[in-house]
Structure 1
Amino acid sequence: MQALDNRKLRYLLGAGLCAAINNVILIGGDALGFGYVGLSVTCFLVTGTFAYAFHARFTFRQDLRWKSYLLYMFGIFFGLPVSVALMHVLYDMVGLPMWIAAPTLTVLMVVYNYAVTKLATTFNRGARR
């Protein structure tokens, strides 16, 4: 058994792309003067949609389905308050600059998002559309 199989490598590629998108939105938006709560919601919508499509088709080799997309977005929605709370701690309380706080937050959310992605994209695989 390989230590890191192809599916995990594909997941890591997608996670890296999502992390980059997320950090561009957070760091760029902060530089433009936007607050992290609104930026976090933007990240949820933009990165969540990209992540579902990427992981469904490329990582897990599944068809795109509205039911799976909604399940995925529902699942990661519960990570949104955690993300905002952690950003509050990192950015407001600890005082980290956004260029450090955003990547730190991204790393903390990867494991949770992997579990949600795996569940949503393989949900009800045998069912007809």
Structure 2
Amino acid sequence: MEEKTLAQVQEMFENDRFATLNGARITEIGDHYARCEMELDDRHKNALGAVMGGASFTLADFTFAVASNWQKPGTVSLSTNITYLGGAKGSRLIAEAHMVKDGRTTCYYRVDVTDDLGTQVAAVTITGYHK
């Protein structure tokens, strides 16, 4: 299998419109791993002025998609569980997806979402299906 560069992976996922139009960008890739970031602005805030949970969920889901597909496309999410741990205090969300198990038809990933100040924002687990 030919290794892809970060630029090639970024190009591969540029049509993931919902995530990318909301500011998600891929900053690092590794073996069944991805790190993505999202600069926060007013579009990410709820009526109370806090970062909306959907921003964290979108970034976590996108990061899982990158980590589980950049080497071998065809994995989709079957189930996602997100636990919100605290409000983002910084100006950027950071998500890191790590593969825990990769089976013949399913996989399991852990995604940690923090902000640029180190605040733990969300803990996410995702079960994927290899199509």
- Provide the TM-score with structure 1 as the length reference: 0.41
Between Structure 1 and Structure 2, which shows a larger proportion of helix residues?
A: 1
Between Structure 1 and Structure 2, which shows a larger proportion of strand residues?
A: 2
Bigger Rg, which one? 1
- Provide the TM-score with structure 2 as the length reference: 0.40
